[in-house]
Amino acid sequence: MIAPPPSGPVPCARETALSLLDDMLRIRRMEEKCAELYGAGKIRGFLHLYIGEEAVATGAIHALEAEDNVVATYREHAHALLCGVGMDAIMAEMYGKREGCSRGRGGSMHLFDARARLYGGNAIVGGGLPLATGLALADRMQGIARVNACFFGEGAMAEGAFHEAVNLAALWQLPVLFCCENNLYAMGTALARSEAQTDLCAKAASYRLPTLSVDGMDVVAVHEGTCEAAAHVRAGKGPFFVEFRTYRFRAHSMFDAELYRDKREVEAWKTRGPIHTFSARLKQQGMLTEEQFLALDRGAGEEVARAVAFAEAGTWEPVEDLARDVHTPVVMP
């Protein structure tokens, strides 16, 4: 059963609401362009699109502060963008260019930015969970009050890494915000085909940490839920687990024929699409006109065009630098 689309008054200031909408549009237009560039052979390797899930990264990262750390998965273009990595550096990274945010070494799945406090871009399912727990341990030991937000899919909850990391974080009361993006499919495996316990909050709660499940198609619900969870973590009360119930509109990657789900299911979920439902609510409330929507959309499109031009103009790292950054250069005495 698919819930009805998010509806009703948007309980936040107009400025906040428009900023949320704008960011969802930026993500959507960037990724639509990525799909096109993949078809054109400009982007290679694996490309995992977030289309349909924009409300999750947008609402959640808007609830974080600039000093917070973010650990994400291989479906992380949106997280990178909203953490403050420039769209131009993201696009250049997908091209494999030296001007990319990981110097072209990572590609779509490995976006990193020390300044934006983005610790990847981890393409091992569950791999980011112990890492985020360790970042939180470092903060605790150094007396730094910061939220360490770790994004992962529901598929990661079948990994031992999830259980080990959540247990450590809860046992040691570490400042980790566990953000589960439940899009119902671990690649092609439906939740009920991979988990004996499909109530993900119940599963997490066995480690004695507070949990919350929110509608991941409703950007305001995501924002509010994450604010509550982040406040708990920031106050030093230990980790928090949030499930964002969402849905991926596109294929898992560019190689996926989507044999595992019914097209009607995808169409039904599209009625809950985070961008059109949110803009409809804003219009209904008089917070947004069609002209304003089109202006935001145009702005996003222009940013994408600039990012593509930047990536196109980027340079290839010389082959002589192949072994660069395997080790940190050390000045020998």
Partner 1 sequence: MTRMSYREAMREAIRAAMREDARVFLMGEDVGRYGGTYAVSKGLLEEFGPERVRDAPLSELGFVGAGVGAALGGMRPIVEVMTVNFSLLALDQIVNSAATLRHMSGGQFSVPLVVRMATGAGRQLAAQHSHSLEGWYAHVPGLTVLAPATVADARGMLAAALADPDPVIVFEHVQLYNTEGDVAEGPVDIRRAAVRRAGTQVSLVTYGGSLPKTLEAAAMLAREGIDAEVVDLRVLRPLDLPTVLASVRKTRRAVVVDEAWKTGSLAAEIVARIAEEAFYDLDAAPARVCSEEVPIPYPKHLEDAALPQAEKIVAAARALFGKP
Residues that bind partner 1 (CB under 8 A): 69, 100-106, 110, 112-114, 119-122, 124, 127, 129-139, 141-142, 160-161, 164-165, 167-168, 171, 324-328, 330
**C-beta of 324: minimal distance to partner 1 in Å?**
7
Query: Which one, 10 or 161, has the nearer CB to partner 1?
Result: 161
Q: Rounded to an integer, what distance in angstroms lies between the CA atom of residue 316 and that of residue 24?
A: 31
Query: Which one, 285 or 315, has the nearer CB to partner 1?
Result: 315
**C-beta of 45: minimal distance to partner 1 in Å?**
13
**C-beta of 212: minimal distance to partner 1 in Å?**
23
| Half-sphere exposure in the Cβ direction for 283 (13 Å, CA) | 12
**C-beta of 1: minimal distance to partner 1 in Å?**
36
**C-beta of 172: minimal distance to partner 1 in Å?**
8
Q: Rounded to 10 degrees, what is the CA torsion of 184, 189, 193, 196?
A: -60
Residue 222: closest CA among 246, 256, 192, 257? 246
At residue 286, what is the residue type?
G
Residue 149: closest CA among 112, 177, 117? 177
Query: Which one, 141 or 259, has the nearer CB to partner 1?
Result: 141
**C-beta of 124: minimal distance to partner 1 in Å?**
5
Would you say 228 and 158 are in contact if contact means Cβ atoms under 8 Å apart?
no
Query: Which one, 17 or 71, has the nearer CB to partner 1?
Result: 71
Q: What spatial distance separates the first Cα and last Cα of the chain, rounded to whole Å?
A: 67
Query: Which one, 1 or 322, has the nearer CB to partner 1?
Result: 322
Query: Which one, 37 or 89, has the nearer CB to partner 1?
Result: 89
Kindly give, in sequence order, each residue whose CB lies less than 8 Å from that of residue 102, ignoring residues fewer than 6 positions away: 93, 110, 111, 112, 121
